[in-house]
Structure 1
Amino acid sequence: MAVALVMIGLPLVWILLTSFKERPDIYNQPATWWPRPFHPQNYTEATQSVPFWTYLRNSLVITSVLAVVKFGLGVLSAFGLVFLRFPGKSALFLLIIAALMVPNQITVISNYALVAELGWRNTFAGIIIPLAGVAFGTFLMRNHFLSIPPEIIEAARMDGAGNWRLLWRVVLPVSGPTMVAFAVIVVVNEWNEYLWPFLMSDDSSVAPLPVGLTQLQNNDGLTNWGPVMAGTVLTMLPILVVFLVLQRHMIKGLTSGAVKG
């Protein structure tokens, strides 16, 4: 674990320290860790040389909408697969599992052609709707719902609980950690999404932060990495805080369906 911590933590420390370095200091050979002199102006340049706050707003909009949509669809579809009876339920779940095995990059061309034909390029709808698939969330929540003791479900049914009441009064209250894990995974993934928003956005009006960071790089052959690293720190800081606050619930939620009893 110590080795893994070093391998994961050192790049983050390097990014943080580099964000306070002047341009000549970054290209020194041999490289030095500590910035000399301390140069916090990189953060000012990162937020003023590009419409950083517009990119931040776009990231908040895209991530929030996708988190709500994916969470809702994931919970409802998993509930249907576990607690409802209908023909073809097993085949439908196998189709969802198959969707997990298809890399997103394979569907880029077909999705791009469809979105362009609908006139959704450079819009929030064009970015959000193709990313609203919930295969992983359905799989995660289904496994958790299967771990709920059947006696609880039977008791609720005997008390006259319908499907909606069963969901809101019984299933969701005992699924807190798993729902937190699902929500954190969705938020982190959508906050860091780059390829599809990059293809769909033409300007800063809808582009999220990962796309906006590329605008900090110069095209003169020598990138000023100080502002780039400062922008990277500002981009990952909100999601890092969310993860650190909710990590205990996330780990508990991911393991809650591993065993029964």
Structure 2
Amino acid sequence: MIKEISSTQNPTIKHLVALQEKSRIRRKTGEFLIEGVREINLAFDAGFELTQIFFCPEIAQTEALEELQTKISSTTEQIVVTEEVYKKIAYRSGTEGIIASAKAKKNALNDLDLPENPLILIAEAPEKPGNIGALLRTADAAGVDAFILANPRTDLYNPNIIRSSVGGLFTIPVATGSTEEVINFLKHQNISIYTAILQEAISYEKQDFTTSSALVVGTEADGLSEEWRNAAKQNIIIPMQGRLDSMNVSVAAAILIFEARRQRGFTL
């Protein structure tokens, strides 16, 4: 049976707004929101449990809604909301009138199911959700085997990460952990560490990435911590011709990851 909610003061709607705005609530409840048909379908395909679907008939396309309804479990609650309510809970404008609540995954390092010769992208302590989203898009585009956040400063289910990744959060294996935990995990898996650090570095084009490899990037402001410098097999740099000594972290990651893919035989 499909419920209807027409008041923005409804407790369920207030809870959804809190999920959008407060990471503390997301962590406490283990829930998060997914906005948009493509993102919801990607999350479903990735095995995320959708607990509720909220849709606005004035905005949602009938075909997209019907297709989604054929996928979801009978335990997923379906709720019709008015346009006013939808605008209250929507994070961005221009979406398709459908929002889902879902259960977050633990994203533990030991849950990663890596292939024999993995290629991993790691980012240490990125603060901006938009940068994390861009890194996830880069990781998806290159088809990496995992994306790992070391010392995360924001939770993975921040709505801006989901938005800026265009659902990339759901398309590749993702894990988080402290820098120490990630380094220990990589060593236990016999994965070589290559860090984007200026000191004692060689050009990224001269490094062989055809064996098990983890490419590690840091923030534009702080770079990587000393722990990574000590753990690295090799520091690598991207030679630059301009007067500035840094570039956006997602751009740097893209250059490194696609070079690794090229070495591994990736062609258009």
TM above 0.5, yes or no, is no
TM-score by length of 1: 0.24
Q: Which one has more relative contact order, counting CA pairs under 8 Å at least 6 apart?
A: 1
TM-score by length of 2: 0.24
